[in-house]
Structure 1
Amino acid sequence: MRVLHFFKTYLPDTTGGIEQVIFQLCEGGPAHGVQGEVLTLSPDPVPERVRVAGHEARRARQDLFIASTGFSRQAFGMFSEMARNADVIHFHFPWPVMDVVHFLTRHGRPAVVSYHSDIVKQRALLTLYRPLMNHFLNSIDRILVASPNYQRSSAVLQPYANKVEVIPYGLDRAAYPQCSPAKLEYWRQRVGPRFFLFVGVLRYYKGLDSLLDALRETGYPLVIVGSGPREAALRAKAERLQLRQVQFLGRLDDEDKACLLQLCHAMIFPSHLRSEAFGISLLEASMYGKPMISCEIGTGTTFVNLHGTTGLAVPPTEPLALREAMRTLWDDSELASRFGANAKARFEQLFTAERMCAETARVYREVVAQRAL
């Protein structure tokens, strides 16, 4: 079975949670009889075809990028061509241009959409987009959501309950590099023997302003891995607050990130808006057996991180609550170890790439069979 994934960004141009999900589905699909390929946009699509590990991605030229939405005239023709050779189209929401392509190309293929997140930031534009969005979701054969938390809390999904299915995101531990002793020692010397870790793109909804406020008048070391549009402002704030214990490392390669995941005391993930629908970094922390601190925002972050079981969940944008959670894990190593062990067990039960790929392949087969009736 051939599956075409369609989303506005992808590797190697960008990294993020949705890109990671698509990557895992494409890499794990062949074990379940599914061959995946990706169509995406790029401001510099040369070469047009790129090999990403064991699958291919094609890149249409991005003509415009406004309000977090990429536009491409070339994508319409490329999508039509690739859809003709696909058995299933797998869309990744939100991206309004995708809806337009879906309808104008009249591809006629069974279609699945991964509903990654509600539209949170562009509320004014959402009013204009809502009729198209509802028409799109009505036309899709199956809607996949990554957590029961998001399914329950998303008003958008309520009318489509009969075709929504929960399939948690998953990761493949074998795809992460083994850290050499020399590299581990390098990072141990650079960041210290004990620290909190944040990993992610530095965006508006990540809650890092609250985290920096929480660190005032404390000595808790924090390592921030990632870059993004908020990086300069966050660096300036840390400097203004004289937070000498905060290290901004920028975007790192996979081995360096794996070393820091292995070495950290705990993962802290203070996202405060529903744009953070799941939190792949929390999955990575679980995979490495680390306790977590996250915010209760009604999304998958507290499906991955169960309060009192795998870590602590605090109210969003409350620096004092974040500080208290950090104090708890810092001062009680036995509790932190117990949370970490629980997180790893929960990962093996629910969040492996193998489970995600098997369940998604089952959905592909079901929608194809339903269309054949």
Structure 2
Amino acid sequence: MKILHLCTTLDVGGAEMHLLSQVRGQAARGHEPSVAYLKGAGTLADDFRAAGAREVVAVGGALGVARSLMPMMRRADVVHTHLLKADVLGAVAATLAGRRRRLISSKHNDEQVLRRPLVSRVHGLVGRLPQRTIVLSDHVGRFIERYGRVPARRLTRIYYGLDPVPFEEAAALDPARRESLRRELGVQPTTTVFLCVARFAAQKAHDVLLTGFARARERTQAPLALWLVGDDPFGDGRERAEATAARLELGESVRFLGIRRDVPHLMAAADVFTMTSLWEGLGLVFLEAMATGRPVLASGVSAVPEVVVDGETGLLVPPSDPDAWAAAAVRLAADPELRSRLGARGAQVRRERFGIDRMIDETIAVYEAVLERASA
């Protein structure tokens, strides 16, 4: 099966990492995936080629659509779009290329722009062009039905899946190597390290996290550290977060680590994974933390409770509430046994519910059903 994936960007993010896993799994099963993207630096382009993508193409503007995207669509058996801009452009281009009956969309987030009445109405038209729309959680499904105006009968929920091997291997490393990485980042053995891996976008509310971390430090004598992994390729989010950290006088207790290729080892070196998102479609990084056996401290918004079970695999707090985050952080820092219990249960839940083979097979089954209907 020739599969064309169209994504808004190929820079580091949850949707892009999910797509990378899909391409790797589809190629391993004998299919022929190709990838096109609309904007950004294409940071992951070489990773997609290594994963088995036959083509990786930056579309660019209207000329790129005519020269590259439309011919790729006509060669494909299935066209699968990812993220809102790619969904809209892909739906129009696939219709013009005669591939609408083979078009599938994936919704990776509860895109808040869809709450705007005009955007919602437009999406209600464009969003009905795909034959199926895959949503990554029940929450996103309800959101897309209500605000995206796509009927529930056209939605299929497929939870993200994770290849756990890099994270399980990192968790199994010699403790001496873990402590070595912590020393490299200026952390002592008794320090409780909170790790956040996320773009510096407004959705992730780094200001809430930094404020909560400052208040947690005020409430305990125990040493705490916060590692922030990620960047903001489309704005000044990181610069604003750095300014917030400076204003709060957090000093060396907060480290801005940028884009890293050793996230599994950072997960293993940290004690708690945290995010303070205002909304979240699912959160692939939660699965990464769970695969590493780390407890999660997160805001209980959107689909997060479908992944992180409060009091069982992590602790959930209200969004935009730094005091609640601080209280939960102090509790976790003071109780290694609680961290261990939550982390172990998280690893078990990840194995039971969020396997990567299930995700890939369920997605291919959607393709086959759409192709069968198109052929009929």
TM-score (norm 1): 0.87
Structure 2 CA distance for aligned equivalents of residues 4 and 330 of structure 1: 46
Deviation digits for residues 118-156 of structure 1 (CA, Å, limit 9, x no counterpart): 332586xx5444444222222211111111122234423
Matched, 1:18 2:8: no
Matched, 1:34 2:31: yes
- Compare 257-266 and 214-223 and name the one that shifted more: 214-223
1:161 Cα offset (Å):
0.7
Overall identity of the aligned pairs, in %: 28
1:110 Cα offset (Å):
1.3
Deviation digits for residues 269-320 of structure 1 (CA, Å, limit 9, x no counterpart): 1101x3x3121211110111111011122x2222111112111111100011
Structure 2 CA distance for aligned equivalents of residues 216 and 231 of structure 1: 18
Correspondent of 2:125 among 135, 140, 143:
135
Q: 1:207 to 1:170 in 2, by over 3 A?
A: same
Structure 2 CA distance for aligned equivalents of residues 51 and 83 of structure 1: 19
Q: 1:98 to 1:158 in 2, by over 3 A?
A: closer
Q: Where does residue 69 of structure 1 map in the other structure?
A: none
Matched, 1:271 2:277: yes
Structure 2 CA distance for aligned equivalents of residues 45 and 309 of structure 1: 38
- Compare 178-187 and 346-355 and name the one that shifted more: 178-187
Matched, 1:82 2:76: no
Deviation digits for residues 7-34 of structure 1 (CA, Å, limit 9, x no counterpart): 1211xxx111111111111101134443
Structure 1 CA distance for aligned equivalents of residues 306 and 40 of structure 2: 35
Q: 1:216 to 1:317 in 2, by over 3 A?
A: same
Q: Where does residue 170 of structure 1 map in the other structure?
A: 161
Matched, 1:116 2:122: no
Q: 1:74 to 1:361 in 2, by over 3 A?
A: same
Q: Where does residue 3 of structure 1 map in the other structure?
A: 3
Structure 2 CA distance for aligned equivalents of residues 43 and 304 of structure 1: 29
Q: 1:37 to 1:157 in 2, by over 3 A?
A: same
AA aligned opposite 2:346: A
Q: Where does residue 282 of structure 1 map in the other structure?
A: 286
SS in 1 for 2:180: helix
Q: Is the 8 A contact 1:45 1:61 kept in 2?
A: no
Correspondent of 2:356 among 316, 332, 353:
353
Q: Is the 8 A contact 2:101 2:131 kept in 1?
A: no
Structure 1 CA distance for aligned equivalents of residues 303 and 320 of structure 2: 18
Matched, 1:203 2:201: yes
Structure 2 CA distance for aligned equivalents of residues 215 and 131 of structure 1: 41
Q: 1:239 to 1:264 in 2, by over 3 A?
A: same
Structure 2 CA distance for aligned equivalents of residues 118 and 45 of structure 1: 24
Q: Is the 8 A contact 1:226 1:250 kept in 2?
A: yes
SS in 2 for 1:80: helix
- Compare 219-228 and 234-243 and name the one that shifted more: 219-228
Q: Where does residue 147 of structure 1 map in the other structure?
A: 137
Q: 1:230 to 1:122 in 2, by over 3 A?
A: farther
- Compare 73-82 and 331-340 and name the one that shifted more: 73-82
Deviation digits for residues 78-137 of structure 1 (CA, Å, limit 9, x no counterpart): 2221122211111113113333323333334412111122332586xx544444422222
- Any stretches of 5+ residues in structure 1 without a counterpart? 64-71
- Any stretches of 5+ residues in structure 2 without a counterpart? 218-223
Matched, 1:100 2:92: yes
Q: 1:185 to 1:312 in 2, by over 3 A?
A: closer
Q: 1:32 to 1:278 in 2, by over 3 A?
A: same
1:54 Cα offset (Å):
2.2
- How many pairs were matched up? 354
Matched, 1:188 2:179: no
Matched, 1:305 2:308: yes
SS in 2 for 1:268: strand
Q: 1:153 to 1:45 in 2, by over 3 A?
A: closer
Q: 1:44 to 1:152 in 2, by over 3 A?
A: closer
